[in-house]
A and B are shown apart, each in its own frame.
Chain A
């Protein structure tokens, strides 16, 4: 089990230690997101989680996705969330009644799900070591998007257009 955190054979130790530190921070921040009593604090803890995810992408040599994550999630989605919080709540501060009456039910569900998934993951990829491949060139990513995955790319643009129009229609005031 210590091999999970520190060194096994053929594993880059510095990479693993960095991974462990970022992962610990991400899990702590994610727990704060789902347990804090203040909606604005939850949004700010979510920024920590999203930034940690971007850092993990860089550790996994996926810089373009990491930069997109920072731009889209931390830049745009968080601003949307903060606007949503400010527009739906008059006062800023801690608030009771953020949880359902049966919120305890979520704990066993999440734990059972976690147990099942960790069993399957550890059983399947127990000692698979990700080789150090170095950063993937962004041209390769662009080639993938614009030749084999061109149709989904066009579909995504329609989805985004439809979502933008739908959001405007829904949120309009008349």
Chain B
């Protein structure tokens, strides 16, 4: 298997995730796009692990999975709190901190 396949697939997924983060207005959709980005990075880590022939990349991928789970939990709790306070999760309406 060519290494370039894996890395290009991860790059495409990463860019789709970046597009989603920029384009989406709904906070839950932005969190989903962040999941796409994290999965692209994990694909890279697994590809590097199998290229180098050791397990370090797999260990890092597992850590990224754990951190992603924590991030989604806290992120969705914050989204719920914003929804409860404002009845909306549109990110462009959250402009109180704009200077």
Residues of A within 8 A of B (CB): 3-4, 8, 11-12, 15-16, 19-20, 23, 26-27, 30-31, 33-34, 39, 42-43, 46, 49-50, 53, 56-57, 59-62, 64-65, 68-69, 72-73, 76-77, 80-81, 83-85, 87-88, 97-101, 103-107, 109-111, 113-114, 117-118, 121-122, 125-133, 136, 140-141, 144-145, 149, 152-153, 156, 159-160, 162-164, 166-168, 170-171
**Interface size, chain B (Cβ < 8 Å):** 71
Task: Report Cα–Cα, A166/B81, bound state, in Å.
Answer: 12
Known contacts A34-B16, A130-B50; is-contact A100 B92 (Cβ 8 Å) = yes
Q: Looking at chain B's contact residues, is the secondary structure mostly helix, strand, loop, or mixed? A: helix
Residues of B1-47 at the interface with A, using a CB-CB cut-off of 8 Å, are 1-9, 11-29, 31-33, 35-36, 39, 42-43, 46-47
Name the one of A26, A97, A106, A152 contacting B23, with C-beta atoms under 8 angstroms.
Answer: A106
Name the one of A12, A141, A159 contacting B55, with C-beta atoms under 8 angstroms.
Answer: A141
Cross-chain contact B4 with A126 (CB below 8 angstroms)? yes
Cross-chain contact B19 with A106 (CB below 8 angstroms)? yes
18 contacts between A and B (CB under 8 A): A4-B2, A4-B8, A16-B5, A19-B5, A23-B5, A23-B9, A26-B9, A31-B16, A34-B24, A68-B62, A81-B72, A87-B83, A97-B90, A99-B23, A101-B92, A106-B20, A160-B66, A166-B77
Cross-chain contact B90 with A84 (CB below 8 angstroms)? no
**A-chain residues with CB within 8 Å of residue B50 when the two chains form the complex:** 60-62, 130, 133
Residues of B within 8 A of A (CB): 1-9, 11-29, 31-33, 35-36, 39, 42-43, 46-47, 49-51, 53-56, 58-59, 61-63, 65-74, 76-81, 83, 89-92
**A-chain residues with CB within 8 Å of residue B73 when the two chains form the complex:** 80, 163-164, 167
Q: Looking at chain A's contact residues, is the secondary structure mostly helix, strand, loop, or mixed? A: helix
Cross-chain contact B32 with A88 (CB below 8 angstroms)? no
